[in-house]
Structure 1
Amino acid sequence: MNLPNKLTIVRVLLIPFFVVLLLLGHAHNDDMTLRIIADVIFIIASLTDMLDGKIARKYNLVTNFGKFMDPLADKLLVCSAMICLIETKQLYSWFVIIIIAREFIISGFRLIAAENGIVIAANIFGKIKTVTQMFMIIILVANIPFAPLQIVGEILKWVALVMTILSLVIYIYQNSAVLKEQN
């Protein structure tokens, strides 16, 4: 159990605390203290995502556990946050369904590729999608009643949605050979 894998586990363990604090903050008339603590937890969890990958690559600590758990932890964190934001009425369910559907499609694509001995690395559009989603979540969770921040949150929603769809289309286009039958 190396440091990058420990950071991934910490990310997963932070998710329930984030969810409980965000939903309690919402239930208690948008208690800013609880929402800010939830936001700090989300930011810390998001930073472990960036940090574990950098450490694993720099010090050659890449493991099968990390290859499996790191993307799973990211999806759990982001999807949990977005589902909670449906509860707080800050995101629509159709919006979150599109984002989760993209993750299922990409995961299925990677499984098919792996069965054929092909490893498909994340591309820049997927990374931009993830960063955009995380910034959107940070702004929405904080829910600070300051008009410019509210506008930034709305813009980030649409940018995140566009990047989700765009990254999916590009990913499928670039890797379409994976879907072709090989005899």
Structure 2
Amino acid sequence: MSGVPASAAGSPAPATARRPARLWNIANILTMLRLCLVPAFVLLMLHSGGDDPAWRSFAWAAFAIAMITDLFDGHLARSYNLVTDFGKIADPIADKAIMGAALICLSALQDLPWWVTGVILFREIGITLMRFWVIRHGVIPASRGGKLKTLFQGVGVGMYILPLTDWLATLRFWVMAVAVVLTVLTGLDYIRQAVVLRRAAPAGEPER
């Protein structure tokens, strides 16, 4: 033995293990804020029968804040090692909750056809369950089409929440139409990816 420390002799120093993220971090706080905005949004949306432009504007503000926090919490969690088991479960629930609440309120107020709400919610819930179904075989990453779908859904639903003039009301129809098409197409693509993952799994792999 030379007596020279391993680090001084040119051997690489052992990597410092990352400490697990705390439950109470900024990413999880934003997720919880989004969850808390769901009942507030519903109350604002349905206030005065859902016909008051001022209350609809407040509801839109709550919806917009929820959509903005959705953009930041995941990015913060990945960038600063703030990923927690709570966040993995709560984040998709918060996403579906605010969008589902908005769609159901709009259909209940007869501003949006129920079939549109049904198609979007069926796709969102179905794909979320499917991700959990194949998670032991691999992760289905969010595609560009999926991100574009989320953008059009958010913009389209936001435009339906606001009381708009005639030409903007026509525009929001086409925005929502694109959102529905992207919802169906990306849903089919995720199903294809799930089937590929299942087929690629080893034949003798035990089921859980």
Give yes or no for TM over 0.5: yes
In 1: Cα distance, 2:141 partner to 2:26 partner: 22
3-state SS, counterpart of residue 142 of structure 2? coil
User: For residue 3 of structure 1, what is the aligned residue in structure 2?
Assistant: 26
What displacement does 1:104 show?
Answer: 2.4
- The answer as to whether partners of 1:112 and 1:178 remain within 8 angstroms in 2 is no
Q: Percent identity?
A: 36
In 1: Cα distance, 2:180 partner to 2:132 partner: 24
User: For residue 102 of structure 1, what is the aligned residue in structure 2?
Assistant: 123
1:160 paired residue among 179, 183, 188: 179
What displacement does 1:117 show?
Answer: 4.0
- The answer as to whether partners of 1:112 and 1:179 remain within 8 angstroms in 2 is no
3-state SS, counterpart of residue 81 of structure 2? coil
Q: Which amino acid letter does the alignment assign opposite residue 158 of structure 2?
A: I
2:144 corresponds to 1:121:
no
In 1: Cα distance, 2:105 partner to 2:156 partner: 13
2:114 paired residue among 82, 88, 93: 93
2:81 corresponds to 1:79:
no
What displacement does 1:167 show?
Answer: 0.6
Larger Rg belongs to: 2
In 2: Cα distance, 1:104 partner to 1:9 partner: 20
In 2: Cα distance, 1:143 partner to 1:98 partner: 24
In 2: Cα distance, 1:67 partner to 1:80 partner: 21
Tell me which moved more, 57-66 or 2-11: 57-66
Q: Which amino acid letter does the alignment assign opposite residue 159 of structure 1?
A: V
In 2: Cα distance, 1:179 partner to 1:108 partner: 15
User: For residue 154 of structure 2, what is the aligned residue in structure 1?
Assistant: 134
User: For residue 84 of structure 2, what is the aligned residue in structure 1?
Assistant: 63
- The answer as to whether partners of 1:21 and 1:35 remain within 8 angstroms in 2 is yes
- The answer as to whether partners of 2:137 and 2:197 remain within 8 angstroms in 1 is no
Tell me which moved more, 154-163 or 60-69: 60-69
In 2: Cα distance, 1:178 partner to 1:118 partner: 7
Tell me which moved more, 168-177 or 63-72: 168-177
3-state SS, counterpart of residue 42 of structure 1? helix
Q: Deviations over 1:115-169 (max 9, x none)?
A: x34222221111111111111111000022x122101110112011001001111
Q: TM-score, normalised by structure 2?
A: 0.81
1:172 paired residue among 185, 191, 201: 191
Q: TM-score, normalised by structure 1?
A: 0.91
- The answer as to whether partners of 2:149 and 2:182 remain within 8 angstroms in 1 is yes
User: For residue 15 of structure 1, what is the aligned residue in structure 2?
Assistant: 38
In 1: Cα distance, 2:126 partner to 2:197 partner: 13
What displacement does 1:22 show?
Answer: 0.7
Q: Which amino acid letter does the alignment assign opposite residue 167 of structure 2?
A: P
- The answer as to whether partners of 1:7 and 1:48 remain within 8 angstroms in 2 is yes
Q: CA RMSD in A?
A: 1.5
In 2: Cα distance, 1:46 partner to 1:14 partner: 11
